[in-house]
Amino acid sequence: VDKHVAEWKYTTCGYCSTGCSIEVGLNEAGKPVATRGHAEADVNRGKLCIKGIFEHELFEAAGRGEVPLVRDKPYDSWRQTSWDSALDKMASEITRIQETYGRDSFAVVSTGQILTEEFYTLGKLVRGCIGTNNYDGNTTLCMASAVSGYKRSFGSDGPPGCYDDFEHTHCLIAWGSNLPEQHPIIYWRLKEALEKRKFPLIVVDPRVTMLAQFADMHLPITPGTDLVLLNSLMHVILAEGLEDRDYIEKHTQGIEAVEELVKQYDPVTASKICGIDEDTIRNVARLYAKAPAAMSIWTMGINQSTHGSDGVVGINNLNLVTGNIGKPGGTSLSITGQCNAMGTREWSSCSGLPGYRALENPAHRKQISEFWGVDEDFFPEKRGMFMTDIFPAIETGQIKGLWLVATNPMTSMPQSSRIRKTLEKLDFLVVQDAYQDVESTQYAHMYLPAAVWAEKEGVFTNTERRVNIVRQVVQPKAQSKADFWIFTELAKRFPNSANMTFAQSPAEAFVEMTELSKGEGRTLNISGMDHDKIEAARGIQWPYRDSDDGLKGDPRLYADGVYQTATGKANLIALPFINNNECPDDDYPFWLNSGRVVEHFHTRTRTGKIGNCNKFSPTPYMEMNPDAARDLGVKHQSYVRLVSRRGDSVVMVQLTQRVPRNMVFIPFHFHDCVNRVSLGLLDPHSRQPAFKQCAVRVEPI
Ligand code: SF4
């Protein structure tokens, strides 16, 4: 028997947003000993990346929390406590802070990692019982610009395309997306499509990433100038009459302002700003516009920018003017980051109310207040702070208490040494996480041990809107509890819960969500789904209505050309480029870029402890061009001090031609490394930080 596996259990990978269907093998004693890809799953067809292959090891990985802990102040010794007293204390501290400083003085920051039913229940607790408006997720660090851009262009969030589009496209541009390392199985799907049928693969990235090495054309753009390139592509398409005029007239509004603006972005002018030569701009524009179907994908290279939201709208503009939305191979597909970043966008109420409802919409507030049994006046009339605004508000004393759910800002936020001082200012910090040893716990007053991934049950939504099920494979470790249980038990301690009903199980919560998803014209419709159907199909894409036959949802949104705006037409938006980045100068002559490596996920809470993932990538490093290193007398594998206007960091050099002479690159996963020096200016629409654009100098030591 393979690795002495006695039984295989179905579940969905808990790392990235690809959404691979996996099976965890248990031995005779019920211990997880192996993982394999599910051969019949549409998404991964039996394949897994290195993280998925060793995922069964994370249940027993070092650093798991086992019991609830409390202390009076950070750095004191922890005291073990019971769940009842921990939750009593938490509810009374929240109430004390809110009564003293106002309802919004307690903030909640969650994640893209927990299950959708848990997001829904947390939203019900925060919006319906606690009543703070300062509630957000760590998705503001990764996907907020995509959300904002989709809403501005199409009137709603929700990626319109799917992986199957690779099989139909005739031209693909990857904007700041390094699939082989970030989303290996999506890359494998793309590669499989390319092996069957050749089409141009164009990669826009300042660094020679792994995907750029496989591309037909690599455009090494100057950091932060995507909008200039996008406007210039539009300039060529409109000047040469390559646009889809019929689609523009029937399905969009705003072309006049766009036509006027992009006149300024002729390829000669644009090439001086974005660093891509004029002939390449013209060639790419013609290839894209003349293709029978063309698609764009993007990840953090677009989103993590001072104009990330505009970058997304710019990509949507390009697809709208060429008639490339909602058709096979023609789409605008943001590749999401975390396994359930989509679930939090759809159902968590972070940015409003569940099911893509807005606090600003009186009809939405009324509908949810009646459904939950909460007084409508209890809801705020517009969304509160984003995650990136909550931390400055702690510094100024506006926020006194914070609850972190499965997120680790001490490593993930820009300017991490400032975040440490910020967390130290809190009257009350609760960290709820499967791992007690996350860096943020050092500053907490309370630690709640959460069950991890397949120790519990519920659904994730992946990049292509596919809802897939995480089945419970093993019991939660020691006294740890499912986040779902923690949320429902805490809710009982707030007066509003007397008039509300909280589901007893994730399956029951899912039924509530299906009810809320019904309605004429709603794209986010999951009314035909239930947990068993989802497992039988190994994931179903929404929309999937109760009237739908079979086990397949719609692969694409907006196939009928009708959008979620008031007029039903998509918005074409003119996007002037304003250079507001911190750029290299004499004192800080290098661009600093950051990104993911294939072995690790986010802040290494899990992969940092899993044998093979950590063995292959054990330490942080900095990629540096050999010519730049020679100028400074820096040697391969020597240590250097990296200095920015925010602070410094010591890191080992890896010499490589992947980065140009004026750029260095560092993986973002490691604590006390790249985010000690990053700047993180915020996008005005999405409040997402520009992790990828700041200036540093390198000092040999
Ligand atoms: Fe998991 Fe993503 Fe790897 Fe698939 S590609 S196994 S979802 S980490």
Burial class (CB in 10 A: 0-12, 13-18, 19+), 290: middle
| Topology classification of domain 69-136+339-437+444-518 | Rossmann fold (3.40.50)
Type of residue numbered 372: W
Q: How confident is the model at residue 1, as a pLDDT?
A: 41
Q: How confident is the model at residue 175, as a pLDDT?
A: 98
* CA within 13 Å, CB half, 355: 24
SS3 assignment for 268-281: HHHHHHHCCCHHHH
Please check whether residue 468 is in contact with residue 451, taking contact to mean a CB–CB distance below 8 angstroms: no
Pairing outcome for strands 639-643 and 135-137: unpaired
Pairing outcome for strands 21-26 and 7-12: antiparallel
Q: How confident is the model at residue 2, as a pLDDT?
A: 56
Is 48 close to ligand 1, i.e. is its CB under 6 Å away? yes
- Give the whole-angstrom CA distance, residue 626 versus residue 152: 43
Q: How far is the CA of 49 from the centre of ligand 1 (A)?
A: 6
Q: How far is the CA of 40 from the centre of ligand 1 (A)?
A: 16
Is 109 close to ligand 1, i.e. is its CB under 6 Å away? no
Which residues sit opposite 592 in a β-bridge?
A: 664, 694
- Give the whole-angstrom CA distance, residue 490 versus residue 68: 14
- For the chain, which residues score pLDDT lower than 50? 1
In the numeric block, which tokens belong to residue 481?
């509890």
CATH architecture designation of domain 160-335:
3-Layer(aba) Sandwich (3.40)
Please check whether residue 38 is in contact with residue 44, taking contact to mean a CB–CB distance below 8 angstroms: yes
Is 53 close to ligand 1, i.e. is its CB under 6 Å away? no
- Extract long-range pairs of 633-638: CB within 8 Å, 24+ residues apart: 633/700, 634/698, 634/700, 638/700
- Give the whole-angstrom CA distance, residue 441 versus residue 439: 6
Q: How far is the CA of 384 from the centre of ligand 1 (A)?
A: 33
- Our measurement of the distance from residue 649's CA atom to the centroid of its chain's CA atoms, rounded to an integer in Å, reads 26
Domain boundaries, the chain: 2-60, 69-136+339-437+444-518, 160-335, 590-700
Is 16 close to ligand 1, i.e. is its CB under 6 Å away? yes
Q: How big is the chain, counted in residues?
A: 701
- Give the whole-angstrom CA distance, residue 312 versus residue 101: 38
Is 185 close to ligand 1, i.e. is its CB under 6 Å away? yes
- Give the whole-angstrom CA distance, residue 166 versus residue 186: 10
Widest pairwise Cα distance in the chain: 71
- Give the whole-angstrom CA distance, residue 258 versus residue 252: 12
Q: Is 642 helix (H, G, I), strand (E, B) or coil?
A: strand
- Give the whole-angstrom CA distance, residue 399 versus residue 433: 21
Type of residue numbered 421: K
Is 15 close to ligand 1, i.e. is its CB under 6 Å away? yes
- Extract long-range pairs of 96-101: CB within 8 Å, 24+ residues apart: 97/400, 97/401, 97/427, 97/428, 98/130, 98/131, 98/132, 100/400, 101/400
For the chain, the C-alpha Rg in angstroms (whole number) is 24
- What Cα–Cα distance (Å) separates residue 350 from each residue in 119, 268, 341, 357? 9, 43, 12, 11
Within 426-516, where are the H helices?
483-491, 506-516
CATH architecture designation of domain 590-700:
Beta Barrel (2.40)
ipTM score of complex: 1.00
Is 179 close to ligand 1, i.e. is its CB under 6 Å away? no
SS3 assignment for 126-138: HHHHHCCCCEEEH
Full DSSP string of 367-379:
HHHHHHT--GGGS
- Give the whole-angstrom CA distance, residue 522 versus residue 278: 43
CATH number (3.30.360.10, 3.30.200.210, 1.10.1740.10, 3.40.50.2300) of 2-60 reads 3.30.200.210
Q: How far is the CA of 8 from the centre of ligand 1 (A)?
A: 18
Is 183 close to ligand 1, i.e. is its CB under 6 Å away? yes
In 3D space, the residue among 372, 338, 339, 333 whose CA is nearest the CA of residue 355 turns out to be 372
**Cis peptide, bond prior to residue 684, ω within 30 of zero:** no
The protein residue with its alpha carbon nearest to ligand 1, atom 3, reads 49
In 3D space, the residue among 32, 124, 110 whose CA is nearest the CA of residue 450 turns out to be 110
Is 49 close to ligand 1, i.e. is its CB under 6 Å away? yes
Closest atom of ligand 1 to CA, residue 12: 7
Segment holding 23, helix H or strand E = strand 21-26
Is 148 close to ligand 1, i.e. is its CB under 6 Å away? no
φ and ψ at 46, to 5 degrees?
90, -10
- Give the whole-angstrom CA distance, residue 263 versus residue 241: 13
In 3D space, the residue among 243, 406, 263, 420 whose CA is nearest the CA of residue 340 turns out to be 406
